[in-house]
Chain A
Amino acid sequence: MGRLGTYLTGLAIDGFISGSSQLEAALRFDLTFAEVEAEILELGFWPARYQRNRQSITCEGQLDLLRNTAAVIGCGGLGGYVIEELARLGVGRIVAIDPDVFEEHNLNRQLLATLGNLGEYKVTAAARRVRGINPVVVLVPHRTAFSAENGRELLAGATVVVDGLDNIATRVELIGICGELGIPLVHGAIAGWYGQVATQVTGDGISRLLSCAEAGGRGAETLLGNPPFTPAVVASLQVAEACKAILAQGKTASGRMQTLNRLEMEFEEIRL
């Protein structure tokens, strides 16, 4: 065991190392918070912030989360909650993509929108939020719209992609690019009291789930709007899917889509 390992072992209490001890170690050994966290987990100890992750995620799994990257496309209703949960979960790198600034009509549902940051880029607010939650997480902000032209470059290095887009046409492009790159994609979409979640792993394209019966169709959200409770629940389901995709644990919603009806509290499963 090296000097850092010996030092950390001396600071562990019941297998946990506090955030202040982690910071002290980073300063003493001139390392980043994330580098110290990796060493803590490699030693089989737990950063104290993850005490309640521990019963659901192994120490090795927590290290996997730290070493992997999730790309979040869209930082609005779904994306805001997705980024929040990925940061608290401990995913080491989050690539956040959104061209927009916060507007007043975002305040009803977008976790990252506040009275104080109206007019600010959503990805800038996301980076600040993540820094305030978990210092090991690096959020890479992209103030741009995801497209067929920039998509491959933006997704390079991502372990998993989470769909927080607000339109169907770009989603279809995202599905195609993720399939081409072989990166798992966790799709989510919302409208009113209703939502849906599906996970695409290589070779089981989910574009059929977003195809319209008639050309030029529009999503129900244009008529139903987006109340606050639907993005929160759909985003949480997406983060659970992304977590499983990174950890190769459990059973993802691959090959099927879960639809949610919050008005009548119903779930339906649609097979691809």
Chain B
Amino acid sequence: MQVTVKLFASFRTGRAPIELCEYPDGATVADVVADKGIPAGEISIMLVDSCHVNLDRILADGEILAIFPLLGGG
């Protein structure tokens, strides 16, 4: 299946900001995160087609996954 992965802010460093990626059926958000080499402890918001999801969400063909980093500075 194909999933569009959109990365934001610092997650774009060394990675494509938007990419159409191929994953096996049943792949989860956690699988994509691992594939992109993003530490889960640095992730804040994950959206699939604009809805908030968790790492264990199973993805479906054609969905758009957006991942934002956790910001805490002031």
Contacts and interface: CB of A to CB of B under 8 A. Distances in A.
B50 A212 contact: no
B71 A213 contact: no
Contacts of A213: 33, 40-41, 43-44, 46, 54-55
A196 B73 contact: no
Interface residues of B, number: 25
B50 A77 contact: no
A168 B42 CA distance: 12
A192 B10 contact: yes
Chain A residues touching B, majority SS: mixed
A270 B47 contact: yes
B37 interface: no
A261 interface: yes
Interface stretch (A20-28, A43-51, A219-227, A240-248): A219-227
Chain B residues touching A, majority SS: mixed
Contact of B71 (A164, A189, A214): A189
B71 A270 contact: no
Contact of A218 (B46, B52, B68, B72): B72
A192 B69 CA distance: 12
16 contacts: A77-B73, A77-B74, A166-B74, A191-B9, A191-B69, A194-B9, A196-B71, A209-B45, A211-B44, A212-B43, A213-B40, A217-B41, A218-B42, A218-B70, A220-B71, A224-B10
